[in-house]
Homo-oligomer: A and B are copies of this chain.
Amino acid sequence: MKIAVDAMGGDYAPTEIIKGVEQARDAYSDVEFLVYGQEEQVKPLIQDSTRITLVPAAEVITMEDEPVRAIRRKKQSSIVLAATAVKEGEADAFFSAGNSGAVLAAGLLIVGRIKGIDRPGLTTTLPVLRKPDQSSFVMLDVGANADTKPFNVVQYAVMGQYYAQSIMHVKQPRIGLLNNGTEADKGDMAHQAIYQALASIDSLNFIGNVESRELLNGAADVVVTDGFTGNATLKAIEGTALSMLKLIKGEIMSGGLGGKLGAGLLKPVFKNVQSAMDYSQYGGAVLLGLKAPVVKTHGSSKAPTVKNTIGQIRELIETKSAEQLVTYFADHTDEMAALKESLK
């Protein structure tokens, strides 16, 4: 399999991207890489070009570029060229740590949606804390669409189910609808309608509403929500976890000798906590609903995250997650049309 890599995106690009690609190449003998970037910068970084092909890309889309305009105008950019390689079948997936909006736009406008899917959904994996049989859950949409329609959320559930099967190896993932209470009649009219639609789809293991308070406790395997609420919830979880760690460290540092001594003894404990909360180990956010995997990691990603994310992409390719969605939506056109009509 072949992965198209944007070498120019991210705070530590291209150095850490290339390092991560080489680590992944060493770890996964079945993966080849098409690496897109400025030749003079990237070429000297590649220590061993086994299964790595550098494709020169004259332009770079920066963090300041307006996404859609950049995709349309910077035709020689690493993002546009890499996405085009996927569109034309030269690569099986696209990876970038660059401008999120531009990566999403390239996915949507160049790689393209699967027929029957109205809106792709940005999907992230988050940790489940202290539950013996579940270490993570996935949530979508976490921000691809600020303006989501009820029918989109219903399709996210199908997409999330296949994703969880591929990545989490759960046979019948429990699908939960993020809502402001667990009863079936909670939320506004839109959420009540989404609830009924999800309950009507036989192939889904829909477990009802879940509240954001219970997500890290493993309330569901797949949490579906509109992009606005999903984005706010994801960032609230991230921000609270980071603030708590900082608060605890600050309290220790400002404590007396006892605190500092305790801190030394607790070092391994904190390491475990931080690694439990460090979802870079779960790889990047995936834009689901496209004809091939399009994956974006944090801009601050370094080589280990790049490597982990490539491992995740490899699983998505191997389990044919995109092809499964193509088949599902081709086989369920009538059901989807009826649901869309009922949710208008």
Interface residues of A (CB under 8 A from B): 129-130, 143, 146-147, 178, 180, 186-189, 191, 211-217, 225, 227-229, 231-233, 235-248, 250-252, 255, 258-259, 261-266, 268-270, 272-273, 276-277
Contacts and interface: CB of A to CB of B under 8 A. Distances in A.
A231 B191 CA distance: 14
B259 A236 contact: no
A292 B233 CA distance: 32
B262 A265 contact: yes
Contacts of A240: 216, 236-237, 240-241, 244
A178 B232 contact: yes
Given A189-B147, A214-B239, A261 B251 contact: no
Contacts of A225: 232
A212 B236 CA distance: 5
Residue of A130, A191, A269 with most chain B CB atoms under a 10 A cut-off = A269
Given A217-B239, A235-B211, A238-B213, A146 B187 contact: yes
A254 to B, nearest CB: 9
A225 B189 CA distance: 18
Contacts of A269: 248, 251-252, 255, 259, 262
Given A146-B191, A236-B236, A259-B268, 6 more contacts: A180-B235, A212-B235, A215-B236, A229-B229, A259-B269, A261-B262
Contact of A263 (B236, B243, B266): B266
Given A187-B146, A265-B258, A272-B251, A241 B244 contact: yes
